[in-house]
Amino acid sequence: MTTAAFQAPKGTRDFYPPEMAVRRHIEDAWRRISIRHGFLEVDGPTFESLDLYKVKSGDEIVSQLFSFTDRGERDLALRPEFTPTLARMIAQRAAGLPRPVKWFSIPRCYRAEQPQKGRLREFIQWNVDVVGEAGPRADGEVLNLCADALFELGLTTTDFRIGWNHRELITQALLATFVSAGRLPDAFYILDRLQKLDDRGRRELYAARNCAPTEMTHYEMIHSAIAEGGRPDDSPSLQRLMAAWPQEVTAAITAFQSRLDSMGLAELCRFDISIVRGLAYYTGFVFEAADARGDNRALAGGGRYDRLIETFGGPALPAVGFGMGDVVLEILLRDHGRLKDNLLPRADIFVISTLDTPDKADRLISDLRRSQWNQDHTLIVHPGYHVQTSYRATKNIGKLLQEAAASGAAAAIILAPDEMSRGNVKVKNLFDRTETEVSITDVRQTVRSIIQMSARA
């Protein structure tokens, strides 16, 4: 059999060390930011019973399931998303969980999509959810956290945009103006596609959905409102639309936008009527983040799903959250020059020995890698370091120093017969190339200050 017979399956990725380093860079930022915002990490099974997804995720996701039957004739599916698992987990323990529940998770998810730019069959999706809090404060909190993770990864307000909408409010606005109750599903279908089509595409869409002239005029006004930036103060089309909406709808929309503005998100966030979200469980506030240049698929998406936990047999608990995939995020970071070329871990120290046997070097390496604690093991006195060495049986210090430089180490420790006979080693600062001879008992202290200085540089 040739190696070609063993290609990774379509839409999956192998993570060699450079790719794995990028993935860790992203996941570490997600984890750091979630914890900073007070969320606790959870996880669940990679597969669930098929029914869990059939109940409420919506047709699109169900059509993309990787499903199978186990030996006990149970119908199962690989998780396409985490929200149903989270709802099931909350429903199971609702009584015992301190509220609000603030959880995050970083699961691998599986969708049998046609692989394309930004969409794979296996991807990693950061999920953040607040359960047990109904108000717009929690909506704002999760949206703010979504933005914060992108800032943490080096993106700026010019790199990405967040559009938000409210399914219930917009339904009220549509019903009060130009959509009849029976036409609501068509209206949502059209809204979802509005910004993705050019003039001709939109005309074809209106025709295919049998839109009356007044409907077309309204959709075109909505299209312009979004194109004008989605802020009532700057968008004449949005002002005209909102003038006909019920007062409580416009008041709620204005209040939420000023909440976002007061969190410092004014530049990033805009009200976008076309964001309706495909998943069937959303009940109110919804949002999506995307590349500011508009040329990539959604980077993150979420919203409020106040009835899902009840659907899975739990109490009626309001919930809001979002998911962000690693695939689009990595493309965005690269496109905007926010990923370093090399994210592989760098050594702190490189140990070189020209002694006849490796024992002393190996002992020192082992000591340096191990953290040293105080007597009652409550404080680290000396942290363990990332230490590398060479397996090459050479005494050519020049060559070994080249290896040291390639490891990215801040300091090299050189064990040579002369210095060792005095109980000393040489320490070379690999940034400013200075060299000192120090007692082997003081070497930790010396390298520590070099490492600290290099971290500041």
Q: Which residues form the interface with ligand HAM (CB under 6 A)?
A: 81, 83, 111, 113, 119-120, 123, 125, 127, 129, 279, 298-302, 321-325, 327-328
For ligand HAM, the closer of residues 127 and 171 by Cβ is 127
For ligand HAM, the closer of residues 84 and 230 by Cβ is 84
Strand partners, 412: 350, 428
Rounded least distance, CB 129 to ligand HAM, Å:
5
For ligand HAM, the closer of residues 230 and 302 by Cβ is 302
For ligand HAM, the closer of residues 33 and 279 by Cβ is 279
Which letter, b or e, does each residue of 161-183 get, where b requires 16 or more Cβ atoms within 10 Å of its Cβ? bbbbbbbebbbbbbeeebbeeeb
For ligand HAM, the closer of residues 145 and 328 by Cβ is 328
Rounded least distance, CB 285 to ligand HAM, Å:
11
Rounded least distance, CB 145 to ligand HAM, Å:
12
For ligand HAM, the closer of residues 194 and 299 by Cβ is 299
Q: Is the Cβ–Cβ distance between 345 and 386 less than 8 Å?
A: yes
Among 167, 161, 157, which Cα is nearest to 188's?
A: 167
For ligand HAM, the closer of residues 163 and 321 by Cβ is 321
Residue nearest to ligand HAM (CB): 325
For ligand HAM, the closer of residues 332 and 443 by Cβ is 332
Rounded least distance, CB 249 to ligand HAM, Å:
23
For ligand HAM, the closer of residues 66 and 206 by Cβ is 66
Tokens found for residue 264: 């410092």
Cis amide linkage into residue 100, ω under 30° from 0: yes
Rounded least distance, CB 270 to ligand HAM, Å:
17
For ligand HAM, the closer of residues 84 and 425 by Cβ is 84
For ligand HAM, the closer of residues 331 and 453 by Cβ is 331
Q: Is the Cβ–Cβ distance between 272 and 164 less than 8 Å?
A: yes
Residues 6+ apart with CB under 8 A from 293: none
Rounded least distance, CB 147 to ligand HAM, Å:
14
Rounded least distance, CB 77 to ligand HAM, Å:
14
Rounded least distance, CB 288 to ligand HAM, Å:
7
For ligand HAM, the closer of residues 43 and 418 by Cβ is 43
Rounded least distance, CB 337 to ligand HAM, Å:
20
* Three-class secondary structure assignment of the chain: CCHHHHCCCCCCCCCCHHHHHHHHHHHHHHHHHHHHCCCEECCCCCEEEHHHHHHHCCHHHHHCCCEEECCCCCEEEECCCCHHHHHHHHHHHHHHCCCCEEEEECCEEECCCCCECCECCEEEEEEEEEECCCCHHHHHHHHHHHHHHHHHCCCCCCCEEEEEEEHHHHHHHHHHHCCCHHHHHHHHHHHHHHCCCCHHHHHHHHHHCCCCHHHHHHHHHHHHHHHCCCCCCCCHHHHHHHHCCCHHHHHHHHHHHHHHHHCCCCCCEEECCCCCCCCCCCCCEEEEEEECCCCCCCCEEEEECCCHHHHCCCCCCCEEEEEEEHHHHHHHHHHCCCCCCCCCCCCCEEEEECCCCCHHHHHHHHHHHCCEECCCCCCEEECCCCEEECCCCCCCHHHHHHHHHHCCCCEEEEECHHHHHCCEEEEEECCCCCEEEEEHHHHHHHHHHHHHHHHHC
Strand partners, 437: 426
Rounded least distance, CB 349 to ligand HAM, Å:
39
Among 412, 419, 357, which Cα is nearest to 385's?
A: 412
Rounded least distance, CB 81 to ligand HAM, Å:
4
Rounded least distance, CB 171 to ligand HAM, Å:
19
